[in-house]
Copies of this chain bind each other. A is one copy, B any other.
């Protein structure tokens, strides 16, 4: 119902999660999530709040945080912590993991995926007898543009 076709899998997963946990579908949740999906990448609570407010809704910041935490619980979203103390959230697409290349000057983020690196990670974990559940890889440096400008 609230789902566009592009994110149908997401709404289905959410519905399933809500169902299995006797949680409820609400107007506000739908608005928050719709805006989250629209903003698409690396969204923080304030971005969402602004976007939602600009669209004419009056939804409390608390509800936004609660919704983001819900999505995190549901495993649909990943929380990412930044040095300035803010947390940003990213849509977690199943089986479509990627890592980040981050420009330390302009903040540009390039996503990438490298099967070979992942394979080696699994190998390292196995050597230490860890059962891997997830990982985070971030490469920091200057993007081509900033490298030129500086």
Contacts and interface: CB of A to CB of B under 8 A. Distances in A.
Interface residues of A, number: 35
B132 A141 contact: yes
A148 to B, nearest CB: 10
23 contacts: A79-B83, A101-B128, A101-B130, A103-B130, A104-B133, A110-B128, A112-B128, A114-B124, A116-B120, A128-B143, A128-B144, A129-B147, A130-B144, A131-B141, A131-B142, A132-B140, A134-B140, A134-B141, A136-B136, A136-B137, A136-B140, A137-B137, A137-B138
Interface of A: 79, 81-83, 85, 101, 103-104, 110, 112, 114, 116-117, 120-121, 124-125, 128-144, 147
